[in-house]
Amino acid sequence: MADLEGFIFPRTATGKASILPAPPWHYSGELLTIEYRTDPDRVIELLPDPLEPAEDPGAVALVWADWQSCGDSREELLDPVRAQYKEVFFVIRGRYQGEHVSRCAYIWVDTDFAMVRGHYQGYPKKLGSIHMTRPVAYGKAGPRLEPGGSFGATLAAYDRRLAEATFTITGTSESGGFVNSHAMYHTRFMPAMEPDADPALHELVTMKTQDVEAGPVYVGDADLRLFDSPAEEFDRLAPQELIGAYYRQVGATFAGGTTVERYHA
């Protein structure tokens, strides 16, 4: 039998074709975060055992992110089609053993390697089409990172517009919001091949990040619109009250995680 190599599929004789290198994975990018309140029951129904409702349980964050990522060799940075991607994700909160935690409820990404990496980490990633206005330092074809700078962001999937937002900077802040500021607790799940068997994989995991760096937080006014789709149900998290909107450039390294709960033998 062949001794196959590679962190994840496709595993081959050399491992070169693996869609991902082994961790650590390094990320640099920019985040547009819009926090709002929704019906708390719609958040609570998304919390698996043993997570319990958070204080202010209806608080949600919708985040647009434009990333550049790489493994330790950094070779992807010289082949940027393998490094650059965008994603949009809904973050909710819960509590685990009395401590507040964050959890990604829905997420779309625009590349295959980022989707597979997310599935490994427990993010429920789906493919989508994502666009964000880029800030500029020169010229007139973009906003400055200063009061009055205006941005747009969109999400589409399956040929349908799912979400769109606008954001205009009004100033700076010490805080970039509170919903997406806790340790992330995600579910890794894979059905068994036998229809009547327990899942082959069913775990609650938390991730570890290190070498976190962050730039100034820009706050501003935002407008958010969500649209329904026959293939989605995120609209159950419809906004009822805007909390705040933030733009920030960040960097971090993912270096593995911890299995918190295994749901079956």
Q: What is the pTM of this model?
A: 0.96
Give the pLDDT score at 204: 98
Residue 36: beta bridge partners?
Answer: 60, 242
What is the pLDDT, as a whole number, of residue 208?
82
Token couple for 142 = 């973009």
Look at residue 2 in the predicted model and tell me its pLDDT. Answer: 76
Please tell me the distance from the alpha carbon of residue 186 to that of residue 129, in angstroms, as a whole number: 23
- Each domain of the chain, given as residue ranges in start order, spans 25-184+207-256
Give dist(CA 181, CA 89) in Å, integer: 14
The predicted structure's pLDDT at residue 264: 74
CA distance 242 to 222: 8
What's the CA gap between 181 and 102, in Å, rounded?
7
pLDDT reported for residue 114: 98
pLDDT confidence of residue 199: 95
Q: What is the pLDDT along the chain (265 residues), one digit of tens a residue?
A: 679 999 999 999 999 999 999 999 999 999 999 999 999 999 999 999 999 999 999 999 999 999 999 999 999 999 999 999 999 999 999 999 999 999 999 999 999 999 999 999 999 999 999 999 999 999 999 999 999 999 999 999 999 999 999 999 999 999 999 999 999 999 999 999 999 999 999 999 998 899 999 999 999 999 999 999 999 999 999 999 999 999 999 999 999 999 999 997 5
State whether CATH 2.40.400.10 applies to domain 25-184+207-256.
yes
